Amino acid sequence: MDIPKQSRTDRYESFYREFDSPLMQKIRRETFGEDIGLQSWGSAQEMRADLARLNVSSSSRIVDLGCGPCGPLTFILATVGCRGTGIELSPSALRAGQARARSLGVESLLSLQEGDLNESLPFAARSFDAAVSIDVVIHLRDRAKFFRDVANILHPGGRFLFTDAGVVTGAVSNEDVRKRSARGYSQFVPPGWNERLLKSAGFRVLETEDRTQSVLRYATQRLAAVQKYRAELERVSEGFDFELEQAFLNTAAELSRSQSVSRIMYLAQTDAAP
């Protein structure tokens, strides 16, 4: 059954409202070590490596599709000095992103827009030099359309880097899928699926990289932090469900350990103008 947009918005809001509280910052530091405002499976180390792949400079324009509280995007702006745009469903996440940009001194470089990636992207053709989307495509209902939209908003030769933490590379049960989808709609795909859709959308795949170990590492470390601060989380966080979070993180870790579900990075490029 399709979940109404308002229901999805409410679910994200309850999470992002407390995103930059001292408690959540403490949990992120114990999960990732270096806290750059990420809540997915990535890291600051990954972002530094990916900046070179994106081939951006201070004159570039970059868009983060499903930017959340703008951790990766503000990290890029602070590192490169380029201009960036973020689009995200949650107003609370966007407010957290604006605050993060102010704290890093890059507020003038950042523009934010509320929007649902399951709908058409609200940007003009050839608006950006590069695009990123970190662990978001797993939650989209029509990634073929999404890839076409991304190709349309990039300049010729523009690069698109994204991660998909839902590539099925082994045996997965219906119970695994249920627990792994606890944070919302999730679409799992076979190996080669994203590559075929990217090619159909007009992209050339430049590189893929298996980053499954990051899910195992950060799911395990986040679970330890959540267990450590469980009482405080249940006291201050609206709607926090420890049993649900524990099942989600345990399942994500086990599926990664068994290599049943993989997290893959894709770097693709639109065709350059003749």
pLDDT tens sequence for the chain (274 residues)? 344 444 445 556 766 887 888 999 999 999 999 999 988 899 999 999 999 999 999 999 999 999 999 999 999 999 999 999 999 999 999 999 999 999 999 999 999 999 999 999 999 999 999 999 999 999 999 999 999 999 999 999 999 999 999 999 999 999 999 999 988 899 999 999 999 999 999 999 999 999 999 999 999 999 999 999 999 988 877 778 899 999 999 999 999 999 999 999 999 999 865 4
Residue 35 neighbours by CB distance under 10 Å: 17
Residue with tokens 């524990």: 246
pTM: 0.93
Q: Is 144 a member of any domain? A: yes
pLDDT the model gives residue 273:
53
Q: Is residue 140 part of a domain?
A: yes
Q: Which pLDDT value is given to residue 3?
A: 43
Q: Which is nearest to 68 in space by CA: 42, 39, 103?
A: 39
In CATH, what number is assigned to the domain containing residue 74? 3.40.50.150
* Residue 237 pLDDT: 75
Q: Going by DSSP bridges, is the β-strand pair 61-65/128-134 parallel, antiparallel, or unpaired?
A: parallel
Q: What pLDDT, on the 0 to 100 scale, is given for residue 18?
A: 79
Is the residue at 274 inside a domain? no
Pick left, alpha or beta for residue 98 (phi over 0 → left; psi -120 to 50 → alpha; otherwise beta).
alpha
119: in domain: no
| pLDDT, position 10 | 57
Q: How far are the Cα atoms of 48, 69, 179, 189, 223 from residue 248, in angstroms, in the given order?
A: 28, 21, 5, 19, 9
Is 32 in contact with 218 (CB distance < 8 Å)?
A: yes
Show the domain range for 255: 5-114+124-268
Please give the pLDDT value at position 38.
Answer: 87
Helix%, strand%, coil% for the chain, nearest 5: 45, 20, 30
Count of domains forming the chain: 1
